[in-house]
Amino acid sequence: MASTETTGSSKKLRVLLIPFFASSHIGPFTELAVSLATARPQAVEATIAVTPANVPLVRSLLQPHENGSGIPVKVATYPFPAVDGLPKGVENLGAAAQADAWRIDVAALSDTLMRPVQETLIRAQSPDALVTDVHFMWNAGVCDELGVPCVTFNVIGAFSTIAMRHLLGRVSNGEPEVVTTIPRFPAPEIRVPAVELPEYLRSQRKGGQSTFHRLYAVQGDCFGLAVNTSPALEEHYCGMYVGNGYAKRAYMLGPLSPRLPSSPEAGDSRYTDWLDSKPSRSVVYLCFGSLAHVSDAQLDELALGLEASGMAFLWVVRTDKWSPPERWHERVGGRGMVATAWAPQRAILGHRAVGAFVTHCGWNSVLETVAAGVPVLTWPIVFEQFITERLLTQVLGIGERLWPDGAGVRSTSLEGRGMRRGEESWNWPPRFTPRWRKEDPPTVICTA
């Protein structure tokens, strides 16, 4: 059994957390580590383990939590394995070129590449408990050998993860036009075209077994499963983990939304000062997350659409290589603001001037917009985002699809689409009441 650190006459429970190689995973993991360490500082010691290139991100996420006693979470490192064709030091999906992102996935999911370095880390740290990203299924076996409880942590919500589980093995790449109804789901009926499903679901042979079947089996055998959500948001889906036998214990820990540090380029006030000059609910906020790769042609079309709409907007463009159409800034003038690389999203969504959020439906953005009560226009791009879109538009009813015909950003042309609607306009719904309070405790669902 793992040892604990003795402090005076008491012993601290030592918890090790290992996130996936993406900012959208590292953020919630870091926030969970802080929550564990600060809830009972004399009883719990939390350590988050990442590869060297991800340490600066973790440090920046911990910085807002620094107090007189220092940062309450330790940071451990382990090496990222060498991968053919992947530049040295590229260890995060957000830092990878579009052509290299798959190489990070290959390394991350590899028994031969990733398991040895993570197993060495776990044995060296000798924790009392492990919280591991759901992708690293081998860590449950390592914990079994050490006699340590293992909790898998899913950073996205219950609706999307259970939907993908129920759809596994039901579609194939040869059926792009098939519209599938998610089975064994409560009302309303959710239908998703095959083309909008994640690649791993479309690439599976119907009825066949896959890596994800093994992953789900491992989750069911673990001590428990943690999810970054709340029953206040996904009431009818949170209970399905234990109710359907998918987990022995399910911990609903959300919303875990990291407190980001100040912008390295300018203070938070740059954006909020601009918003202060705008009327209430008059600004459209647009951001497509840290992993989206949107072509220059699509950015051009969106820029022209925003120009033609006549609306005030704050647009986050995470690239320094794209330039808007000629004289676009001059024509848009003061009604538009473009942020590059970084923006304080929680502060922006919480501002009275923001009336709508054009979002890629990434889970962290979903949690932040629901907490702020801002309605959405959905523009999903990759992964589970097309499924999450249904939660927002069909279940929660807090927005509309920007692409009613589906799969918009995968299209080669945006002519006449999206914000470029000419005389059409979207009748924005009012801000809604947030569905949870920050002080609400986590929900634990256990087997009998």
**Mean pLDDT value across residues 158-179:** 79
Does residue 54 carry a pLDDT above 90? yes
**Mean pLDDT value across residues 115-134:** 97
Does residue 399 carry a pLDDT above 90? no
Of the two residues 177 and 347, the one the predictor is more confident about is 347
pLDDT of amino acid 414: 34
- pLDDT tens-digit readout, 286-295: 998 877 677 8
Phi-psi region of 397 (alpha: psi -120 to 50; beta: other; left: phi over 0): left
- pLDDT tens-digit readout, 312-348: 999 998 777 788 899 999 999 999 999 886 788 989 9
- pLDDT tens-digit readout, 58-113: 999 998 887 766 778 999 999 999 999 899 999 998 888 878 888 998 889 888 99
pLDDT of amino acid 235: 86
**Mean pLDDT value across residues 370-392:** 91
Does residue 448 carry a pLDDT above 70? no
pLDDT band at 53 (very low <50, low <70, confident <90, very high): very high
Does residue 268 carry a pLDDT above 70? no
Q: What DSSP assignment string belongs to 236-302?
A: HHHTHHHHTTS-SEEEE-------PPPPSSS-THHHHHHHHTS-TT-EEEEE-TTT----HHHHHHH
Domain ranges of the chain: 5-259+438-446, 269-410
- The neighbour count for residue 198, using CB atoms within 10 Å, is 17
pLDDT of amino acid 387: 94
Q: Is 165 helix (H, G, I), strand (E, B) or coil?
A: helix
Lowest mean pLDDT: which of 33-42, 74-83, 188-197, 291-300? 291-300
153 bridge partner residues: 133, 226
Q: What is the chain's mean pLDDT, rounded?
A: 83
pLDDT of amino acid 411: 36
pLDDT of amino acid 430: 64
* Contact assessment for residue 107 and residue 86, using Cβ atoms and an 8 Å cutoff: yes
- % of residues, the chain, pLDDT over 90: 47
Q: Torsions phi, psi of 293, nearest 5? A: -115, 100
151 bridge partner residues: 131, 224
Of the two residues 84 and 214, the one the predictor is more confident about is 84
pLDDT of amino acid 293: 72
pLDDT of amino acid 354: 95
Does residue 393 carry a pLDDT above 70? yes
Lowest mean pLDDT: which of 113-122, 223-232, 377-386? 377-386
pLDDT of amino acid 169: 76
* Contact assessment for residue 353 and residue 262, using Cβ atoms and an 8 Å cutoff: no
Residues 6+ apart with CB under 8 A from 407: 193, 195, 196, 386
The first and second tokens of residue 446, run together, are: 């256990």
* Right CATH for 269-410 from 3.40.1260.10, 3.40.50.720, 3.40.50.2000, 3.40.50.300: 3.40.50.2000
Which pTM value belongs to this model?
0.86
Q: Is 139 helix (H, G, I), strand (E, B) or coil?
A: helix
**Mean pLDDT value across residues 339-362:** 90
pLDDT of amino acid 210: 66
pLDDT of amino acid 249: 93
Catalytic residues: 25, 133
Does residue 4 carry a pLDDT above 50? no
CATH T-level fold of 5-259+438-446: Rossmann fold (3.40.50)
pLDDT of amino acid 206: 57
- pLDDT tens-digit readout, 237-255: 999 999 999 999 999 998 8
pLDDT of amino acid 198: 82
Does residue 173 carry a pLDDT above 50? yes
pLDDT of amino acid 403: 72
How far apart, in Å, are the Cα atoms of 382 and each of 63, 255, 289, 409, 417?
Answer: 30, 22, 11, 9, 19
The Cα–Cα gap between 202 and 196 comes to: 9
pLDDT of amino acid 33: 96
Lowest mean pLDDT: which of 153-162, 272-281, 436-445? 436-445
**Mean pLDDT value across residues 397-404:** 83
pLDDT band at 425 (very low <50, low <70, confident <90, very high): very low
* Contact assessment for residue 218 and residue 137, using Cβ atoms and an 8 Å cutoff: yes
Residue showing tokens 């382990």: 78
Please name which of 281, 137, 287, 320 lies closest in space to residue 219, comparing C-alpha atoms.
Answer: 137
The Cα–Cα gap between 125 and 16 comes to: 8
Does residue 417 carry a pLDDT above 60? no
